[in-house]
Each structure stands twice: as C-alpha cells, then as structure tokens.
C-alpha cells in the first residue's frame, strides 16, 4: 500500500480515520495493520494489499485456503498473531472461494488482449484527465493500470486477493488497490471524478451498487458495462437489471447518459477459459455523467 492512500481510506464500519502500524516497508508498505481511531477495528496489510473488510474472519471463512497461505507468507509476530486469531474464529464454509478466485484471475490474465478492453480504453482517452479515479471490480488491474497513465490518483477495488495480487505487479506511484466489498464505504465521503464498473452487476445487488456510486460522484463521469448474465453470479442478485432498466435507474439517480450510449450496445468480450474453450459475451456499455 502507498502511504498517500491513508489520506483517502476510512473505516468501513464507522467511517473514522485509520492509523497505520507498519511492520515491513520498502517503497510501499508491505506488511502492517490499519486501526480505526473510532471503533478500533483492525485491517491487515499483507503483501502490500490492504484487506478492508468489516469482518476479516468472515472474509477468511470463505477462503480458508487463502488464510493458510497468508499466514505462511507474513513475517511479523504481531501479524501472525492477528491471522492466527482470525482463522481460529472463522467458520469454514462448504465452498472455499480461493481456487475459484485464482482460476478467474488466470482467465482474466489470458484474456487481457480482448478487443473489449481496447474499445473501453479509446472511450476513456477521449475524456479529460481526472484527479481521482476509482474502479469497482478491477480484478487484475487491466483498466486501472491504464488509467494511472493519464490521471492523478487511481484506485481499484476487488473482492479477490488473488486478482489484486496480480494487479499489484503494475507498480505505479499514483495507483493503489484494495480488497474490499464493492458496496462498503472504504473512502468515506470522498467523491471521484471518474468511476468505472465493468461487468460486475452479477456479483453485487445492482441497485445497491448504483446508489453507492451515485453518492461518490457529485460532478464527473460513470462508465458501466455489463453482459446481463445473471446466472454468472447465481444467488447473489435478487433484483437484476436489463439494458433498459439500467438506463432508467441511472437517470433517476441524476445521471445524464451520453448520446452515443443511449441505445444498448453489443461489444464483444472474449474470455479464454482454457486452451479449448472461450466464453463469448456481448456487452452493453453506458457512459453517464453528472
């Protein structure tokens, strides 16, 4: 984690500022604890990655294999103690997400040359530079790393520690990543000039995400895309949106939709699942602003 990020992030439970206890540091903070000055909730920084989860033990409950790997990777006694306690109170779930998240991280790596990303990059190049940029569901950092080339401060959020570990290989002084729930308030009342949410509506309740993002943009752009494949995030979404209701919802939240994206689009997004199979999506893109 870069130290400049401390100026922006807040406790996801009470919104208070966070104090930093550094265990290991080089150019970035490699290992340490972020502690809330209000409620004393602690968030670990492991392998340069802050995990800003309201209940860290619950996060590990769905990723016990990851928890064991993290425990083996840390060096400071205080961090080992923190992880050991978190693992001891974690309730193991039947479906550990570690292998699934690692697999999808590899799929995104092998698919990063998809034409879809080139199209989005061209759209972003046409926009003016921004001071603060945020991407939800940034995964391995394809777009966040690109945005850091021309914008002042760029942040990426994803639930997958595996994906963020790959994203962190894009070492840029104005770019930082966090493991966090997509609708948690890790930035408090900070507002952004540009927010991206590409192909994540199946993984989080769509209206909750839209309302959350709307509060983070007072004046700026919102770029959202989706294939509307709600079977991909089975059981995670109660109220799915389609291409028309998504646009209606954005308008109700005060967004104006760019003329070029008022009509639904069908951008090709290819995901290489393995050497013998490819998943082909037709993705809808919306560019909105306030």
231 close to 188: Cβ distance less than 8 angstroms: no
pLDDT given for residue 170 in this prediction: 85
Beta bridge partners of 196: 135, 223
Residue 123 in contact with residue 287, Cβ under 8 Å? yes
Q: Which two tokens stand for residue 187?
A: 């930035």
260 DSSP 8-state letter: G
Query: What per-residue confidence (pLDDT) applies to 233?
Result: 59
Q: Is the dihedral of CA 223, 100, 103, 186 positive or negative?
A: positive
Six token digits for residue 197: 């949410």
Other Cβ atoms closer than 10 A to 48: 22
Q: What is the rounded distance in angstroms from the CA atom of residue 192 to the CA atom of residue 248?
A: 22
> Both ends of the chain: CA-CA distance in Å?
31
Please tell me the pTM assigned to this model. Answer: 0.96
Structure tokens, 272: 């290489």
Neighbours of 15 (CB within 10 A): 15
> Which pLDDT belongs to residue 160?
98
Phi and psi of 274, rounded to 5°? -165, 175
3-state secondary structure of 21: strand
CATH of 105-289, one of 3.50.50.60, 3.40.50.150, 1.10.630.10, 3.90.226.10: 3.40.50.150
Question: CA angle at residue 178 from 164 to 121, to 5 degrees?
Answer: 65
Long-range contacts of 210-217 (CB under 8 A, 24+ apart): 210/249, 210/250, 210/253, 211/253, 212/182, 212/183, 213/136, 214/253, 214/254, 214/255, 216/134, 216/187, 216/190, 216/191, 216/192, 217/191, 217/192, 217/193, 217/290
pLDDT one-digit tens code per residue, 1-21:
999 999 999 999 999 999 999
- Contact between 136 and 182 under an 8 Å Cβ cutoff? The reply is yes
Q: Which residues of the chain have pLDDT under 70?
A: 233-235
SS3 224: strand
Place of tokens 């308030």: 185
Query: Domain-by-domain residue ranges, the chain?
Result: 3-96, 105-289
Residue 234 has a pLDDT of: 63
């Amino acid at each position: 984690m870069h130290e400049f990020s401390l100026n922006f992030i807040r406790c996801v439970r009470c919104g208070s500022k966070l104090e930093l206890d550094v265990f290991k540091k080089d150019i970035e903070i490699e290992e340490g604890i972020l502690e809330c000055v209000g409620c004393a909730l602690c968030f670990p920084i492991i392998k340069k990655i802050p995990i800003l989860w309201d209940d860290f033990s619950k996060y590990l409950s769905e990723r016990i294999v990851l928890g064991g790997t993290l425990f083996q990777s840390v060096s400071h006694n205080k961090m080992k103690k923190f992880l050991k306690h978190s693992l001891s109170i974690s309730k193991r779930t039947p479906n550990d997400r570690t292998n699934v998240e690692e697999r999808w991280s590899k799929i995104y790596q092998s698919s990063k040359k998809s034409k879809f990303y080139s199209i989005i990059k061209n759209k972003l190049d046409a926009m003016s530079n921004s001071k603060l940029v945020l991407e939800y569901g940034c995964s391995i950092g394809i777009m966040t790393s690109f945005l850091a080339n021309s914008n002042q401060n760029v942040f990426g959020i994803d639930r997958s520690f595996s994906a963020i570990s790959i994203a962190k290989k894009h070492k840029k002084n104005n770019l930082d990543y966090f493991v966090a729930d997509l609708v948690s308030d890790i930035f408090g009342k900070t507002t952004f000039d540009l927010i991206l949410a590409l192909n994540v509506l199946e993984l989080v309740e769509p209206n909750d995400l839209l309302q959350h993002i709307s509060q983070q943009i007072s004046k700026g752009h919102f770029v959202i895309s989706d294939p509307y494949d709600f079977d991909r995030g089975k059981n995670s979404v109660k109220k799915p949106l389609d291409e028309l209701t998504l646009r209606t919802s954005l308008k109700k939240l005060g967004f104006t939709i760019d003329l070029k994206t008022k009509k639904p689009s069908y951008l090709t997004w290819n995901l290489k699942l393995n050497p013998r199979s490819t998943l082909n999506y037709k993705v809808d893109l919306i560019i909105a602003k306030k």
